[in-house]
Structure 1
Amino acid sequence: MKRSWLLSSILTAGALALSVTNSFAEPVKFEFWYGLSGDLSERVQEACKKFNESQKDYQIVCTSQNAYDTTLQNTIAAYRAKKQPTIAQIYDAGTLDMMLSHAFVPAKKLMADNGYKIDWDNYFPGIANYYATASGELNSFPFNSSTAMFYYNVDAFQKAGIDFKPDTWEQVEEAGKKLKAAGYECPFGFNFDPWMTMEQFSAIHDQPIATQANGYKGLNAELVINKTRFVDMVKFLKKMQDEKVAVVKTKQLGMDIVPAFGSQTCQMIMTSIADHGTIGKTLPEGVKWDVVPLPVFKGTERHKSFVGGASLWVLAGRPEGEYKGAAAFLNFIAQPDMVQWWSTVTGYIPVTKTGFETMKANGFYDKAPYKGRERAIESLTVTQPTENTRGIRLGSYTQVRKEVSTALEAIFMQNADVQASLDQAVERSNAILRRFEKTYSGEKLN
């Protein structure tokens, strides 16, 4: 009897101790590194706070690396040192580098292992294909997705007697000349960003950037932008610059394109749909402006544009508890209310069909501050993906972009020959691609 009472007391005490221990258990902490800065960084921090406040089992620690390329470099270095975060935001240019690193847990596996049922077909193909395997399985989670759009000052158009939306580059030139005649010093502002000038132009004109389906079919891809209509585009921009219709605007020269448009210094620009919110906050109240898909050359059949931005990769080699937290966070930010919140406070577009349809049903795109953002979805889905419009899967692509940007700067700032400059950029870029191919010799793209 005594022993039975003693055993019962011990078990009861043990159960109470376990209950107390569990009730005061620390949440599982895990890290998320991202490359956004400024206002967008604050929005990421807000999303992380919302997740932490929504439950008590996990605590995500979110740290900005201040730039996309820095995030990629720091993530690779941290993985080699076995100090990697659980989640890393990697931009589009780093996709192949991450794929071949094998340093990640595939998106589908992560969610299935942790009990989440995801409708992977719910992602817009134009977005998902950029981050998916050849069979269509996502390696990472589309996050801050965007595409390039064309912004124009409606008030300035009306004052200059322009009664059309710029749908073609020929119309952009025509509008630019009228704006110039009306006294505007910068009708069209542009910079040397290859993402807009080269990549988006090539996609909507269904032009290849590289062989092997822009790299999707093999590591032996070679850049071909010096042999496509991109050459015509650069020459056209140079012509508009000579006519003083197009004006270079960069940070190095004191004012980049977005502040140039927001200050009404320039009346037309092309930039990311993600800048829609910033522009809306910057322009004086009452100024009429609009956004449309990027222009095409007259007589061209418009194709879908490329998705830009970044996706979230879950890195291998972390404790199991952190993966449970990562899956919970990724599921949290994919909910329709969070999708709408994220699009509202940033300008990035929803990555799922249900997210987009929910926002439409809620009247989101009918509201003045957000009107026009839905056109980015239209731009990404106007046609089915082709070999030229699925995306770009080239190694060390950050360096390739740099070579193209350098060539464009020489053309527009030093009056260098267009063809010779692009030939040189291609030659240097292909040398970069061959080094990457050698590094990953024997690897096959899945």
Structure 2
Amino acid sequence: MENEVIHGNDINPEIYITTSKKKIVHVNVSASGVPNSQLYKTFSVIHGQTQLVKLNISFRLHNTELTKKAVLIQADDEIVVYAVNREEKSDDVYLALPIDALGKEYYTASYHPATHYCLFAIIGVYDETNVSIHLPQIHHLSVTLNGYTYHRSHWINVTLDRLSTLEVRSKHDLTGSHIVSSKPIGVLSGNKKTTIGHGSTHDHLVEMLLPLSSWGNNFATVPIPDRHGIGDMFRLIASEDNTHIHVSGINSGKPFQDHIKLSKAGHYVQKHYSSGLYSHIIADKAISVFQFSLTQKGHGDYADPSMITVIPIEQYAFEYTFTTPEYSHGNYSNYFMFIIDSSQKNGLRIDNRSLAGDQVYHKIPETHLVGGYMKISVGTHSVTHTDPTTVFGGILFDKANAESYGFPVGLLLKPINTVSTCI
């Protein structure tokens, strides 16, 4: 998606590809829609290795536009793909979802008030895909596409072909834009660049959204590490009318409760929770949850805004393999945030090693889970369990001066939400 270039120094977008497989996996990366891109790469990956593909800046989307800038990645076995959209002091990373896990219905998420634009982008997977976008009922909202201006509650109708891309941007909040399509599509969402909270620095936000079919009812949260009491922002979005949400937690040793009602599908609530809060979120209807790190305070608090999809507990996976992308000025401080059954925590392994003896685990109230985080080194890592049937959640969060990113390192993507609100 769109990012802000400063000092005239464009940085190439990057794609990282790895695998948890112990055998060689062959990969092809291509793009047929971008003129003169000459993007066609073939290579192999194996467990413990990562391949980096740098894209020309012409692949970055701009404004509200319908183009053909998608990248096709094919492999002969399972791979892990995540994309880095970095400019100087403006970076975020998203986990790319496989085509067979995509859906036909989404609600978007951004942060507002945005320093720059709120954005979402739609990726065509199949030819002749009819896409309808119902803009949220936000006062003064306007989106101009092909010479026509759309306002709040308007529908935008387009047809996408394979590898087509549509970016939509607005100075107003696009959270809750309802996207329905005739065939599966991919959707990215976030902000060109924004400040969250107080401070002078701002950062790019992006995640690849879960389709509505993968939304869940149960979530556990771990606060962004080492933020010295600055707290985290959360947005919770409803998939159905009259959704009731209960948040329970332990906030620096003290019980915490919050009760929320969302009256309409696509409506959201924004909450600023403490850096000491480990929470359990339960909803009577499927929701999506996003966690935002806040703008840095300075004086040793080095980090910046990033947007993280909080994965439903029902979608936790058995193992994760990932690499830590580079900072635009060197290396980040790297953290792996995790949630696991308290009875299984001793079996957790990172790169086949037990966690440190002084590892701290925090109870997630009203569950059998515990959460925590650990600092990790630069490079490729695998997080597994001695019992291969044990599932757990994982997030990679990296921070540096005026720049951060965070994303879930994997999930199951089961179709656990069977209720569709397609119009």
TM-score interval w.r.t. the shorter chain? Answer: under 0.3
Larger Rg: 1
Structure with the largest fraction of strand: 2
Give the TM-score normalised by the residue count of structure 1: 0.25
Q: Which has the higher contact order (CA 8 A, sep 6+)?
A: 1
Structure with the largest fraction of helix: 1
